[in-house]
Amino acid sequence: MNLDRPWSEFQFVAFDTETSGAYPLDSEIVEFGAVKWSAKTGQNVAEYQTLLKPSRPMSDFIIKIHGISNEMVQDAPSMKDKISEIQNFFSDSVLVAHHAPFDMGFMAADFEKFTAGVPDQPVLCTSLLARKLIRGTTNHKLQTLVKELNLKQSDGHQAHRALDDAQSCLEVLKECFKRVPSGQSLLDFAKNMNGFLQWKNFKLTFDQDANSARSGDPSQIQLIQKIKSSIQAGMDLNFIYLKDSSKQSQIPRAMTPVGIVRGPDGDFVVGRCHNDGTQKRFYLSKVRLLDESLP
């Protein structure tokens, strides 16, 4: 894919996921929606939407967010049955999502689990693009942008449903395009968010190539793999968190990990800290596991 061509020559797929919780591994995708749009013609090419059955029931808290009940997904297909269709829908397109690292984290886990590996298409994030290109809105949340920019919505639009949010994401992308020259290359357009997001940087499974990790650091790969194994096995982790150079930073801690989040601002593990019983995030660059906690 020659990214030096003008953005107006490309086909885009805006996609969105609704999930059973906040973090990959601990939670799953329960709805996927996507819209394919041609910048050349200015027309939608195709749509894709499917509910997906999770392996365990969703909580009432999560159901209130997206309105997808356990009854709605009871007879839905599994992601294993739909991942190839999604992969085919992605083909020959530049991918787009709002707060893309969230969706990419969940999708990467499923691509790794059910296919030969993660996609290689570049990904744009309309949240990051909007922060640079769209001024004067209260914030850059998707629903705020839709409302305050008076963006096009389908009849019966439902926020926090995958297909409707994918369409809203696409409308935000179009607004961003209006604010750059029509002849600007897609590569230069992506510089408004400091470059494309890459699927390999959201992997949780690695081969022997150290460059599979964002840092290129084999120890980072090893740490991710060990935390992933602990989450899957329901094991606690004993570790030291290097906040600073003080002695207090060397005090051993324990946590029950619930998810790994990989993103542009740094990778972190989320878990229930045994010190105070609250859920916290710990950046992996500062985590040092103790031997007795290793899976």
Per-residue pLDDT tens for 242-284?
Answer: 876 555 567 889 999 999 999 888 899 999 999 999 999 999 9
Q: Pinpoint the residues of the chain covered by CATH 2.30.30.
A: 210-293
Strand-strand pairing, 94-97 and 11-19:
parallel
* Distance (Å, whole) CA 16 – CA 97: 6
Architecture of domain 210-293: Roll (2.30)
**Percent of the chain's residues with pLDDT above 70:** 92
* Per-residue confidence (pLDDT) for residue 244, from 0 to 100: 66
Q: Pinpoint the residues of the chain covered by CATH 3.30.420.10.
A: 7-202
pLDDT range class, residue 210, cuts 50, 70, 90: very low
End-to-end CA distance of the chain: 41
User: Which residues, in sequence order, are CB contacts of 129 under 8 Å at separation 6+?
Assistant: 172, 173, 176, 192, 193
Average pLDDT over residues 173-196: 96
Instruction: Classify domain 7-202 by CATH number.
Output: 3.30.420.10
pLDDT digits (tens, 9 = 90+) for 144-155: 999 999 998 866
Backbone angles phi, psi at 170, to 5 degrees: -60, -40
**Residues 249, 211, 260, 16, Cα dihedral to 10°:** 140
- DSSP per-residue codes, 128-175: HHHHHH--SSS---HHHHHHHTT----TT--TTSHHHHHHHHHHHHHH
Does the pLDDT of residue 199 top 80, yes or no? yes
* Per-residue confidence (pLDDT) for residue 167, from 0 to 100: 96
Q: How many CB atoms lie within 10 A of CB 11?
A: 15
Please report, for residues 87, 111, 161, 274, the alpha-carbon distance to residue 268 in angstroms, rounded to integers and kept in the order given.
Answer: 27, 21, 27, 17
Average pLDDT over residues 152-181: 90
* Distance (Å, whole) CA 75 – CA 81: 13
